[in-house]
Amino acid sequence: MTLKPLAAKYGGPNAKGRELFNRAIRAELVGGDDLLDAMDLVDRLARRLRERDLAGKSEAQQAMDALIRCRQIFADVIGSRYPVD
């Protein structure tokens, strides 16, 4: 599998697949920046709730799962724009 088209536009010398897709999502898709920021925030929240065994763990995880599904849809759109061999 090659990510050359994405790497040519968004990559650096050490960019990996997920990082390339996230850069493209932020740059090209409306709401992509907000989605990835929300994923970061909800992930931190869910982790803290689990670590401290506080209420709301399952709700935070459900929110994270929904954001992950959205990110996959966004990544699919980027994948259709930049075919990956």
User: Residue 35: pLDDT above 90?
Assistant: yes
**Spatial contact of 25 and 71, defined as CB atoms under 8 Å apart:** yes
Q: Structural domain tally of the chain?
A: 1
Q: Which helix (H) or strand (E) holds 6?
A: helix 4-10
Structure confidence at residue 85 (pLDDT): 63
In one-letter notation, the amino acid at residue 85 is: D
Structure confidence at residue 32 (pLDDT): 96
- Rounded to an integer, what distance in angstroms lies between the CA atom of residue 48 and that of residue 46? 6
- Rounded to an integer, what distance in angstroms lies between the CA atom of residue 20 and that of residue 17? 5
Pick from 38, 21, 37, 8: nearest CA to 74: 21
Residue 46: domain span: 4-81
User: Residue 74: pLDDT above 90?
Assistant: yes
Query: Interior CA angle at 20 toward 26 and 9, to 5°?
Result: 85
Question: Helix H segments across 29-56?
Answer: 32-51
